[in-house]
Structure 1
């Protein structure tokens, strides 16, 4: 048995049965093994950043690792931004990177590079498989490593000769690392903190399950503690029937206002909050002076179980205040961001998955979705844009019976728009609402906030933040990739297009024209 066949067969046997890929010459034996191992589903992407983003979202929704196959160091480099997002999300992801045949490395061929050094920037575990007899077991060690530290990227470098050589044999799965159980001393410290006035409970990561959200709601109802969710949650169960919780603001000034007056900050699966960037005269650490920070559960911990134990201690009989299913009707007439977000919320199907890369619209979309149908939200955990289209793809493959709605900014969509081709090829139920304001609107805001200048619409600086001249035609782009698309300019047109997209199988794109910001 060739090494690649042993590796792919062992992965499928361990439950890693989807591999997103953009392969090259060094990975041909892995590709061929798909014919020998029908249990492994290969999903082709046109760009490595699509493959890595899809694998990240797949694992977040499926609750198990996906694999991604990349071609040598440059292929890994092309996929790095969404591997960064996966690392920040604590996603269990197996990254297989093909390498030159061992005897070919000495020739320093054009594609030769230091793969392991690049991989270590996003991976918690990196290994090069050196012998066909070990390759399947190396893969099983990599899969097990994805569950460590609460979830991480594990990269297995696979030389071409290890793939093509005979002598491989399947390997049995290894036991995954289970989350750490709640720590009694941490629960007691958190109970003391939330019992006082001015406490804030910041929820993130593994705390955002239905179980964790329910427990947090009961804690808030019993103690008066304020609830906040990290700015970019990796996988959040929210909407009607769940506690109404705001996200921590993206801009430092917003977050500081939300945390003002807090006497204690209890972290449940979230990191202590810091500003995304440094600004003149604005603190980077967002914890108010005099506020005690108490960790209830960190990344390796079972944060939902810790919240449940905390609720049992401080709120044994409490009932959470749940959001109603009462998304208001959007205002008619020409579209703006507010009516767009209201239309998405009002038409959201039950049990949908919402992929939020709306960026400047996120501050409006978040509150609008609080009273929408129950759903799962995925967000841009690491801040590296271009996650939305591939994340929608990966989520749809992980949950083929659930509709996926991607609310997508125009500028970041252009990073990984090729994902729509794979959505069409796989006939996935993804509705992309693309917000077209013909600008990098977030950067127009940041130009002012950093003190660099005013948000100019003309001049050389303003031109660097503008997406017109020419304005991308997203309807034509989507149609060219096999995805039916419409352009809308009014609320009425958007509502009609959303009904069309939700009622018809397969992927759809709605290009929503809204006024430019600033």
Structure 2
């Protein structure tokens, strides 16, 4: 008779979850041992829980089905919370497994005892603790079904539930539950055909595939401005893809994009607000007098409403598609702009770009808009340290596609351990570190909040040059070959070589700060 851990893994595999990004501890050892009994589950070891949770996010964004994590008690979960926050904001399906003390051991208040439910509740749309091994198969199946709705489903498994025999498979296969799909488009149709300025803001599944094409057809037929979230979970773009403008990060720029709009149609996206409060500026970006139409607030609804809406208002329209074009290979000084030109000139077809470049990425959208078709994954929740873990998971999900991770130096230091997993799994990930020796985004925020006159001690908290970080040595120490580029020619040559060779590679791209 199988024990609980065997039942759990078998239940996950039967429900379509066959990759586990893990950083286990003592309470999860029976799960680890059971991996030999269920060879269909692929375990991927991560040296930090934030890498495991970020990798599960990247995997699910590209595979369009959940991966699972395996985390150790409350402290292990706490170490992974930042990237679970990003995954929650991306509406990524993740089955988040957290081991706990045996039921009889919990009252003893052992050193690692903590309130796992409270920690998990901050990021989970579905949360359950298994109390009986007989329930574990059903709990696993329901966790997968809940995650498939576009949320984090956390299942807490006490150690004795894992080691106890008597686990049973789920009695029936459980599919994803879905809410009601809106069917009345009358108000939205009237708004789009009223002649008044309108904008469509896309998010979730609406930023790729047939749904994005349908949105572009609607915009072309009605004259509506087509926008997507500032940080989309996954945006299909490049030559031949529908053109969509990302809502700007800076409040003034976003307000300019929305100025004069009388109807704002939300499809898979929330009503736009600023990321932070700024003195003397409103936080709500909806223009005064604009009517908001939340047509499809969930990812599943976004995928379902766009095709019938396009059939109603744009039956004959063709979408506006990006033309094929590339920048010339840059020469001379290496800057964020010349690095973007090199990336645009060399980006391979069907690439997956994971972008956490922050201020150094200012020129990337323009330089890559006409590159061959690719996917662009962004920092959805703003918690830095997402880039390299997400790239790791995306490479596991899509082993035949090149992955390019565009990473800022400060963010890179949160989750550098992802490089070790890339080397261990021989993943085809090229990482570019925009090395400007500064938390440059915070220099920008100093200005935005009116604190730009801060003195030397304050500015020192944003400086990464004392001592300078040696990213080549850090990468080599984790088994990833690396090189430093200080001119545009060096960077272009290194990037071309890295993209051509399989396996992980890191380029330390030394650029002056934009801010």
Structure-2 residue corresponding to 1:87 = 88
Structure-2 residue corresponding to 1:317 = 316
Q: Alignment partner of 2:213: what SS? A: helix
| Structure 1 residues 178 and 300: CA distance shift in structure 2, 3 A | farther
Residue pairs, 1:238-317, within 5 angstroms: 238-317=237-316
Q: Alignment partner of 2:363: what SS? A: helix
Q: Alignment partner of 1:244: what SS? A: coil
1:169 correspondence with 2:175: no
Structure 1 residue runs of 5 or longer lacking an equivalent are none
CA shift digits 1:350-409 (9 cap, x unpaired): 111110111113332122221111011111111111100000000000111111111111
Greater shift after overlay, 75-84 or 324-333?
324-333
Structure-2 residue corresponding to 1:120 = 121
* Distance in structure 1 (CA, Å) of the matches to 2:503 and 2:44: 16
RMSD: 1.4
Residue pairs, 1:21-60, within 5 angstroms: 21-60=22-61
Q: 1:192 aligns with which of 174, 190, 193?
A: 190
TM-score normalised according to structure 1 size: 0.97
Shift of 1:224: 1.2
| Structure 1 residues 173 and 41: CA distance shift in structure 2, 3 A | farther
CA shift digits 1:104-147 (9 cap, x unpaired): 11110100001001100000111111111211211111111112
* Distance in structure 1 (CA, Å) of the matches to 2:13 and 2:182: 35
CA shift digits 1:27-84 (9 cap, x unpaired): 0000011111000000000000000000011111111111000000000000000111
Q: Alignment partner of 1:134: what SS? A: helix
* Distance in structure 1 (CA, Å) of the matches to 2:41 and 2:293: 44
**Residues 403, 430 of structure 1: 8 Å contact kept:** yes
Q: 1:478 aligns with which of 475, 479, 483?
A: 475
Structure 2 residue runs of 5 or longer lacking an equivalent are none
Residue pairs, 1:30-429, within 5 angstroms: 30-148=31-149, 151-171=150-170, 174-177=173-176, 179-180=178-179, 182-185=181-184, 187-195=185-193, 196-429=195-428
Shift of 1:516: 2.1
Shift of 1:279: 0.4
Aligned residues: 513
CA shift digits 1:227-262 (9 cap, x unpaired): 111000011111110122221011111111111111
| Structure 1 residues 330 and 263: CA distance shift in structure 2, 3 A | farther
Q: 1:466 aligns with which of 463, 488, 505?
A: 463
* Distance in structure 2 (CA, Å) of the matches to 1:480 and 1:418: 10
**Residues 246, 366 of structure 1: 8 Å contact kept:** no
**Residues 181, 306 of structure 1: 8 Å contact kept:** no
**Residues 102, 161 of structure 1: 8 Å contact kept:** yes
**Residues 141, 174 of structure 2: 8 Å contact kept:** no
Shift of 1:182: 4.7
**Residues 330, 492 of structure 2: 8 Å contact kept:** no
Q: Alignment partner of 1:470: what SS? A: coil
* Distance in structure 2 (CA, Å) of the matches to 1:66 and 1:356: 21
* Distance in structure 2 (CA, Å) of the matches to 1:510 and 1:454: 34
* Distance in structure 1 (CA, Å) of the matches to 2:220 and 2:454: 43
Structure-1 residue corresponding to 2:429 = 430
CA shift digits 1:475-518 (9 cap, x unpaired): 11011111111111122111111111111110111110101233
Shift of 1:197: 3.2
Q: Alignment partner of 2:71: what SS? A: strand
CA shift digits 1:427-469 (9 cap, x unpaired): 000011110000000000111111123366xx21011000011
* Distance in structure 2 (CA, Å) of the matches to 1:407 and 1:179: 35
**Residues 10, 173 of structure 1: 8 Å contact kept:** no
| Structure 1 residues 464 and 152: CA distance shift in structure 2, 3 A | same
**Residues 350, 375 of structure 1: 8 Å contact kept:** yes
Q: Alignment partner of 1:392: what SS? A: helix
Q: 1:500 aligns with which of 458, 482, 497?
A: 497
* Distance in structure 2 (CA, Å) of the matches to 1:124 and 1:332: 49
**Residues 205, 299 of structure 2: 8 Å contact kept:** no
TM-score normalised according to structure 2 size: 0.97
Shift of 1:181: 6.7
Shift of 1:222: 1.3
Q: Alignment partner of 1:103: what SS? A: coil
Structure-1 residue corresponding to 2:8 = 7
* Distance in structure 2 (CA, Å) of the matches to 1:134 and 1:177: 19
* Distance in structure 2 (CA, Å) of the matches to 1:212 and 1:93: 23
**Residues 428, 503 of structure 2: 8 Å contact kept:** yes
CA shift digits 1:268-287 (9 cap, x unpaired): 11111000000001110000
* Distance in structure 1 (CA, Å) of the matches to 2:6 and 2:209: 39
